[in-house]
């Protein structure tokens, strides 16, 4: 699903953000990228989204060879990738339903199709009955689940989770870790979870990629 071969990224400022990175994430993996701030995790994510190009080396994502991907194909690549951010990025004054349906409405899908998709993901994240609640009335963990529902309703091949549990308290984080594991099993898609929290990576992992100073130290 994601492969990097001898990838180096040097920013215009001369910073070597990634150095000879070789990485393979298979279809259906739950892969963790863990490392301290400045390790190169965000740079790795930007490569996957083709927000930046490698200075040298090759990047493959979901069958696309990104080095050769034409600009007009970038939206198609990004549609296969769902995101969950640390700060959720929901619209607080809107209902749970409208937050999740937002992208589907933009695509002008028929109302009954949108309804069915939203109900399905609400079931996956265990929020049935919350459709009409406004997001600002939900707990942090519930908001996080809405953010996940919004990402998976578009049926991505890859779900990128960038420190998704960072804003939650300890107990909620533990609960969400278990729920994410279950969702991963249920959905069968590739999860790439970026965190600086080693414990989180160790609790939930199938595969851990340890990064430091722009290099992959270990994969296992």
CB atoms within 10 A of CB 179: 17
The C-alpha atoms of residue 55 and residue 128 are separated, in whole angstroms, by 46
39 near ligand ADP, rule: CB under 6 A: yes
Closer CB to ligand ADP, 39 or 66, in the complex: 39
In whole angstroms, the minimum distance from the beta carbon of 54 to ligand ADP comes to 13
Residue linked to tokens 């930007």: 46
38 near ligand ADP, rule: CB under 6 A: yes
Closer CB to ligand ADP, 21 or 101, in the complex: 21
42 near ligand ADP, rule: CB under 6 A: yes
Closer CB to ligand ADP, 163 or 179, in the complex: 163
Residue linked to tokens 């519930």: 142
Q: Enumerate residues 6+ apart whose C-beta is below 8 A from 57.
A: 4, 5, 6, 7, 8, 20, 21
Give the residue from 169, 146, 149 showing the smallest Cα distance to 159: 149
In whole angstroms, the minimum distance from the beta carbon of 23 to ligand ADP comes to 14
35 near ligand ADP, rule: CB under 6 A: yes
Among 37, 106, 108, 112, binds ligand ADP (CB under 6 A): 37
In whole angstroms, the minimum distance from the beta carbon of 177 to ligand ADP comes to 21
Among 25, 31, 34, 40, binds ligand ADP (CB under 6 A): 40
Q: Which stretch binds ligand ADP (CB under 6 A): 9-17, 77-85, 124-132, 177-185?
A: 9-17
Dig out the tokens for 11 from the structure.
């920013």
The Cα-based distances of 122 to 100, 107, 125 in angstroms read 9, 20, 5
4 near ligand ADP, rule: CB under 6 A: no
With H, G, I as helix, E, B as strand and everything else as coil, classify residue 56: strand
Among 17, 21, 146, 216, binds ligand ADP (CB under 6 A): 17
Among 2, 25, 34, 41, binds ligand ADP (CB under 6 A): 41
43 near ligand ADP, rule: CB under 6 A: yes
Q: Enumerate residues 6+ apart whose C-beta is below 8 A from 71.
A: none
Q: Contact, 179 vs 146, CB < 8 A?
A: no
Closer CB to ligand ADP, 7 or 104, in the complex: 7
Q: Contact, 195 vs 205, CB < 8 A?
A: no
Dig out the tokens for 21 from the structure.
């990175």
Residues engaged in binding ligand ADP (CB under 6 A): 11, 13, 15, 17, 35, 37-43
């Amino acid at each position: 699903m994601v492969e990097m071969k001898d990838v180096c990224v040097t920013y215009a400022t001369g910073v070597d953000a990634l150095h000879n990175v070789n990485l393979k994430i298979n279809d259906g993996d739950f892969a963790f990228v863990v490392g301290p701030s400045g390790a190169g995790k965000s740079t790795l994510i930007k490569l996957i989204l083709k927000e930046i190009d490698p200075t040298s080396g090759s990047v493959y994502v979901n069958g696309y060879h990104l080095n050769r991907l034409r600009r007009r194909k970038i939206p198609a690549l990004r549609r296969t990738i769902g995101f969950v951010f640390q700060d959720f990025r929901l619209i607080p004054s809107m209902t749970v339903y409208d937050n999740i349906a937002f992208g589907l409405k933009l695509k002008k899908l028929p109302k009954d199709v949108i309804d069915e998709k939203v109900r399905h993901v609400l079931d996956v994240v265990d929020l049935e009955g919350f459709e009409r609640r406004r997001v600002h009335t939900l707990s942090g963990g519930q908001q996080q689940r809405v953010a996940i529902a919004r990402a998976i309703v578009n049926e991505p091949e890859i779900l990128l989770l960038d420190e998704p549990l960072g804003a939650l308290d300890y107990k909620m984080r533990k609960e969400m870790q278990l729920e994410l594991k279950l969702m991963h099993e249920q959905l069968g898609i590739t999860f790439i979870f970026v965190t600086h929290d080693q414990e989180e990576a160790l609790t939930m992992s199938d595969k851990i990629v340890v990064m430091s100073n722009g290099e992959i130290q270990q994969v296992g």
